[in-house]
A = this chain, B = another copy of it.
Amino acid sequence: MGPRTERRQQHGEESRRRILDATVEIAAERGYEGTSIALVSERSGLPRSSIYWHFRDKDDLLAAVIERSYHLWRERLIAAGSARTPDLDRAGALREITAAIAASLLDQPEFLRLGMMLTLERRPVEAKARELFVGIRNEVLAFATREFQTMLADVSAAEREAVARKLAAFMLAAADGLFLAYQLAPDTFDLLGQFELLAIVVDAAWDRLTV
């Protein structure tokens, strides 16, 4: 890998990035079937043939978009969640977590938008992109479950995992729902306030499930 390939790759990567930028924008607006290669070409300024040079086919392109938007969202979430106040009580910790999720979703909404669309769109030939999202989603759920388990020190080991899993699944699903409601009416839906309520609600459920 001399400097030659580096420069060439820089040029190629730049085009690839522009294609992905255009695609994520379109796909988050119009779903899988609504994302046409012609529109991607038009909005990225690159010819159709370039798209097929960088990606095998449409399915491959959409999968790449999911992957990249996931990583962008994940970085944003980690950035928002890293500044944790030490020695916080459970309610406070939950409030910080939900605030971080809300911030990451406001900043990088494309990943979840796209993932939800792929969740709902059940085409006969299952798209690679959908499978990718399902896998990522399961990882996130497993991560949240582990986090909750460490916060459940006072519960017997037997029921700890079950409670943690149930709470994590609920919290993730509820966060999805709040995001969706926000997509429906961004001007009137109080996303941040609802995420605060989510923290309160999970905290309360904690008591009721473990007593």
Name A residues whose Cβ lies closer than 8 Å to a Cβ of B.
29-34, 113, 116-117, 119-123, 134, 137, 166, 169-170, 172-178, 180-181, 183-185, 189-190, 193-194, 197-198, 200-202, 204-205, 207-209
Contacts and interface: CB of A to CB of B under 8 A. Distances in A.
Contact of A183 (B119, B166, B185): B119
B184 A170 contact: no
Specify which of A29, A31, A202, A208 lies most central, judged by the most chain B CB atoms within 10 Å of its CB.
A31
Given A31-B31, A117-B121, A197 B205 contact: yes
B200 A29 contact: no
A183 B29 contact: no
Given A33-B33, A173-B174, A183-B119, A205 B200 contact: yes
Contacts of A202: 201
A121 B30 contact: yes
Contacts of A30: 33, 121-123
**Oligomer: number of copies:** 2
A48 to B, nearest CB: 19
Contacts of A189: 169
A205 B200 CA distance: 7
Specify which of A174, A180, A190 lies most central, judged by the most chain B CB atoms within 10 Å of its CB.
A174
Nearest to A91: B208
Contact of A178 (B33, B123, B173, B194): B173
Given A197-B166, A204-B208, A29 B123 contact: yes
Nearest to A195: B170
Contacts of A122: 29-30
Nearest to A120: B117
A208 B178 CA distance: 20
A178 B176 CA distance: 8
Given A200-B205, A204-B204, A113 B123 contact: no
